[in-house]
Structure 1
């Protein structure tokens, strides 16, 4: 006798839903996050598990990690760390999205972390208040998603590496908008 009783096979929770079906996405746990290195990275080493504003908490974690890591690396090295972090994010967000069955779950905050690193790499050296302004502008653009950020956020959603690229890319665009604000502000 088989372990499965006769009848339809159980549905894989990571499968795509048919039209008209809905799914309740459970809040990921620390156990889920620690079950695979990709989950740990995508969830910002726990910052994405915040029950309130995980994107903001992930951005704060990115800011703090930038300050700490900057004690040991040269400014030019940040460009390599950001590029590597982007590629790492493609893998981590792809795997985590697949395992969660959700293309861009709010707990996946690696995109915010890499994007704030990009912003801070270009606005530094600046004071604490300059970094705080960069944080606020970045969060504004990431939340509001002005054109074309919103377009890419919607059009690049989906499974696989294309979807993971979309997760990462819209935050990179928000970072560029933030850098544009700083460039205009500094030129005045």
Structure 2
């Protein structure tokens, strides 16, 4: 297997069926956890940047060999988007000095809302997807991740503010 395929399919996770994108998002969770345990929030942030550019490169390599601008086996974009959605949870754990697994509702919300926005493709997610190029493949998931991250933040505020005020 060529390097671009290894990266693009996240070591073959993208070959799982059905719903390869969901499998890719699920694979992103333990990867984020492991990176957070190894080096904290900032390691995940650096890894996210590396994954975005490596994924863009891999998608270029994979799509030049076929006529599908967004092959379902390419799930590195889901990893990047899922990590973006998790950033508020990881930052919250770092800020509060708590074990990141204690914020499990945030993990679930990040996963569910990322998948929702990635599948539904509202507004800017759909615009990025309609680029039909490798950058669009990566960007639609990153934008879906940003939208999910905003929801995660709003849910955290809705949960914590009454506790602080009450």
Q: State the TM bucket, normalised to the shorter chain.
A: 0.7 to 0.9
2:80 paired residue number: 114
1:37 paired residue number: 3
Higher helix proportion (structure 1 or 2): 2
Structure 2 Cα separation of the partners of residues 129 and 184 of structure 1: 13
Max radius of gyration: which structure? 1
2:136 paired residue number: 166
Structure 2 Cα separation of the partners of residues 167 and 54 of structure 1: 14
> 1:101 offset after TM fit, Å?
3.2
2:62 paired residue number: 96
Residues 1:129 and 2:105 aligned together: yes
1:51 paired residue number: 17
Residues 1:182 and 2:152 aligned together: yes
Gaps of 5+ in 2: 94-99, 159-166
> 1:77 offset after TM fit, Å?
2.1
Q: Does the 8 A contact of 2:32 with 2:44 survive in 1? A: no
Between the two proteins, the alignment pairs up a number of residues equal to 148
Q: Does the 8 A contact of 2:36 with 2:43 survive in 1? A: no
Which piece of structure 1 moves more, 68-77 or 166-175? Answer: 68-77
TM-score (norm 2): 0.84
> 1:41 offset after TM fit, Å?
0.5
> How do 1:41-80 and structure 2 match up within 5 A?
41-80=7-46
Q: Does the 8 A contact of 2:88 with 2:152 survive in 1? A: no
TM-score (norm 1): 0.74
Secondary structure of 1:106's aligned partner: coil
Gaps of 5+ in 1: 1-33, 158-162
